[in-house]
Amino acid sequence: MLANSELLFRPNVRIYGPIDDRAVLDALDQINAVLDGEQDLVIELNTRGGDADAARRIALEIKLFRERSGRNAYCVGKTVVYSAGVTILAAVSKRFRFLARDAVLLIHERRLEDSIALNGPIKACIQIVREQLSMLETAEKLELQGFAEFAEGSKLSAEDLYRRATESCYLFSEEAVELGLVAGILE
């Protein structure tokens, strides 16, 4: 286990700002640089959220790092870890998840902003609606998998976490520790 000062002040991957395509590319570059060395992965995370699928891509790379290197991956959430940021935090084993004392988590359902234009034969319109429904059902399954991953080893079940998420749940670092979602608070 790395020392608190190493985790707080010497991250080798920094994810700061919106989770989008650019954040994915930046994270991949930084993770690959760590993979080429001998160090454990130490991620500093500060984000107001962003694209859920971009967060899933970063989370996958963190898991692949652990599998390929056999080394530990740590994540320290600082100040804000909202929405898609929680997906990234969940990619790290609970015993290696930490928050700074000022950190606040936001856990909520995936958001969608889209409209469906139906214009044409009924059969074609039905197919468009089915495709959109399938996309929503897939997003819901992915969301539930993410909640289960984050809740693993905590006092909350995935269902409990989902219920909280439907109400846009803000958690301060102390609450996250009490619920067993993270290993501790770093100061």
The crossing angle, in degrees rounded to 10, of helices 122-151 and 52-69 is: 50
Return the exposure string of 37-56: e unless at least 16 CB atoms fall within 10 Å of the residue's CB, then b: eebbbbbbbbbebbbbebbb
Q: Which one is the CATH code of 4-186: 3.40.630.30, 3.90.470.10, 3.30.56.10, 3.90.226.10?
A: 3.90.226.10
Q: Answer yes or no: is pLDDT of 114 > 90.
A: no
73 DSSP β-pair partners: 41
Q: Write down the pTM of the prediction.
A: 0.91
- Alpha-carbon distance of 102 to 90, in angstroms, equals 19
Q: Answer yes or no: is pLDDT of 136 > 90.
A: yes
- The predicted-structure confidence for 163-180, as pLDDT tens digits, reads as follows 999 888 999 999 999 999
pLDDT of residue 3: 85
Mean per-residue pLDDT over the chain, rounded: 95
Read off the tokens for 121.
């034969």
Give 12's Cβ-side CA count (13 Å radius).
21
In sequence order, the 6+-apart residues with CB closer than 8 A to the CB of 179 are 154, 155, 156, 171
Read off the tokens for 137.
């059902």
Break the chain into its structural domains and give their ranges: 4-186
pLDDT of residue 97: 98
Pick the residue with more confidence: 8 or 24?
24
